[in-house]
Amino acid sequence: MSLSFFQNVQPKAGTPGVAEPSGPAQGGQAPAPAGSMFTMLLPILILVPFLFLNFRRQKKEQQLRASLKKGDRVVSQSGLIGELIEHDDRIAKVKIAPGTNVQVLTSTLSPFDASPGKSDKDLADLKEAKATADKK
């Protein structure tokens, strides 16, 4: 594999369409422009906030898993919803129907909230707004 892609290679003498340098040939490589250092650091600077947010999310999920106890409603990443029967650091038993228990990885569980986006107050506000609109 050739590394000439990353090197500053000058065209051969006599190549048509290439101007000949009028000054003496340079002895060494020219210093890299100042912008190249910023260009190299830019992807890292973009990546750092995403990593920070990801670590915070993982920590929050671990705390939620640690707070789970027997009898809690849980949901797995695959979408199974059930009642937590028992769990340890690695495996949890979840009751998904009467007489039907499954074993899942504890790391895939999270607490189940039946109405994550709507509270009773939000629903009351929506009903009131609809009633007001119907009167007009």
> What is the phi-psi region of residue 17: left when phi exceeds 0, alpha when psi lies from -120 to 50, beta otherwise?
left
For the chain, the domains span: 38-114
- The residue written with tokens 């912008």 in the block is 35
- Mention the CATH class of domain 38-114: mainly beta
Which pLDDT band, with edges at 50, 70 and 90, does 54 fall under?
A: very high
Sign of the dihedral defined by the CA atoms of residues 33, 35, 36, 41, in that order: positive
pLDDT digits (tens, 9 = 90+) for 62-105: 888 888 899 999 999 999 999 999 988 899 999 999 999 999 99
Please state the pTM of the whole predicted model.
Answer: 0.50
pLDDT grade for 48, boundaries at 50, 70 and 90: very high
